[in-house]
A and B are shown apart, each in its own frame.
Chain A
Amino acid sequence: MAEVYSFYVDAVAALLGGGCSLGDGQRLPGVRDAQRHRDLLQEVFLKAFGASARLSYDGLRPYRPFLLRIARNLLVDEARASGRLVQLEDPEQEIEPLPEEVSPEESLDWRRLSEATREFCAAADPKTREFIRLRFEEDLSQRDAADKLNVTRRKIRTLEDKVRTELRQFLQSREGRARPNPGASS
């Protein structure tokens, strides 16, 4: 299952992020929130690897469209939950992910936070910087990062949690400084 997951995860993630065409010229939007995107991705593979889906899968149809259909249906549910009326003209139509659409506000927000993150990384101690470089910038798996740093995978998880906690605090404190509470000055 892990190999199937690794093989298809990027295609499913692209669909969940960018959405797809509904066939009538309308676009089914993707999910922009990173955490929601990750949650939906998990939901897709949970459904695909669940006992009922595995038993009902005939082994003949290509697996990619099967996964993309699950992802598309979750996006439809997501759109309907937010009050958007979505009609599926042909539920069996071929699904191709569309490129992500980023709004100017999102782009601005991303640039601001990226800059702050770079500042955070530059101020980190050399060991933490090396960990961030391997695990995040080079996107190494936990196992490969652990091998390179000569530590256990458990240690990698601990380091990940620590870096995220510190970055979160850093971003919040920076934001606090940038936007002082108006009530505090009176």
Chain B
Amino acid sequence: MKEPSDARLNRLLTGRDKLSQADKDAVLEGVFARLPQEPSASPGPAFAPWLRWAFAATALLLFVSAGYFLFSPSTRSEFTSRGEARATRAFSIHCAQDMVEGRCARGGKLLFKVDPRGARWFAALARSESAAVVWYFEAVEIKDPSAGGLLEQGVPLGSEHAPGHWEVIGLFSERPLDKARIRALLEEGGAKDSAGIEIVRRPLEVLP
């Protein structure tokens, strides 16, 4: 008898001669394990080992210095927030066709994944390098997002999205915001923490 493969045994254990969940999991793990790194994560130009150590040492020194200046008693009283620390709200944007994050071709559809951390409403717009603005939504209720945080509302990338680099701006809030309020907030250059508003920015590359 030919030795039964893992896939064959999985099917026998499910009692159905079909792809089992165990196989699906194994295939996905195999895909992730074998996918090459993203271009952005590819190694940069090769440096000599001593130079790499020098870079690492410099980075460490800068990190420690920054920590000292930020948290030393003399600066703490001036600039440190005295409010209660709050977990950071976040969102990510994905192309519906392949779920690639932050990059989508014109004509595709943009999906939003949100991590509201107590926020109830979400608004989003995009701004291009040439300062063109496209409004996505003013007030979407996100108190109980679907599993995985994916919003039902997708944004088709139409002709108003010129190919190039955009910035998608998301606003989390406890009350719905209108365009005027959002504009004012963005012109002020930051969110009013007391109103429970948090602004998060994400890069988007629109492909032709």
Chain A contact residues, CB within 8 Å of chain B:
1-6, 9-10, 13, 17, 33-35, 37-38, 41-42, 45-46, 48-51, 54, 57-60, 63, 102, 110, 113-114, 117-118, 121, 132, 135-137, 139-142, 160, 163-164, 167-168, 171-172, 175, 179
Which residues of chain B are near A34, meaning CB under 8 Å? 5, 7-8, 10-11, 17, 23
CA distance A45 to B189 in the complex (A): 43
Which residues of chain B are near A17, meaning CB under 8 Å? 18-19
Which residues of chain B are near A45, meaning CB under 8 Å? 27-28, 31
CA distance A168 to B1 in the complex (A): 11
**CB proximity of A130 to chain B, nearest CB, Å:** 13
Contact across chains for A51 and B99 when beta carbons are under 8 A apart: no
Which residues of chain A are near B102, meaning CB under 8 Å? none
Contact across chains for B4 and A113 when beta carbons are under 8 A apart: yes
Contact across chains for B35 and A113 when beta carbons are under 8 A apart: no
Which residues of chain A are near B36, meaning CB under 8 Å? 50-51
Which residues of chain B are near A49, meaning CB under 8 Å? 31, 35, 98
Q: For chain B, which range describes its interface: under 10, 10 to 19, 20 to 34, or 35 or more residues?
A: 35 or more
**CB proximity of A136 to chain B, nearest CB, Å:** 4
Q: Say whether, besides A51-B39, A140-B21, A35 and B98 are in contact (CB < 8 Å).
A: no
Contact across chains for A139 and B21 when beta carbons are under 8 A apart: yes
Contact across chains for A168 and B27 when beta carbons are under 8 A apart: no
Contact across chains for A38 and B25 when beta carbons are under 8 A apart: no
B38's nearest neighbour on chain A, judged by CB, is: A51
A110's nearest neighbour on chain B, judged by CB, is: B17
Q: Say whether, besides A34-B8, A60-B105, A41 and B27 are in contact (CB < 8 Å).
A: yes
Can you list 19 A-B contacts (CB < 8 A)?
A1-B31, A13-B18, A34-B7, A34-B10, A37-B7, A38-B27, A45-B28, A49-B35, A51-B36, A51-B39, A54-B98, A59-B95, A142-B25, A160-B22, A164-B9, A164-B13, A171-B1, A172-B1, A172-B3
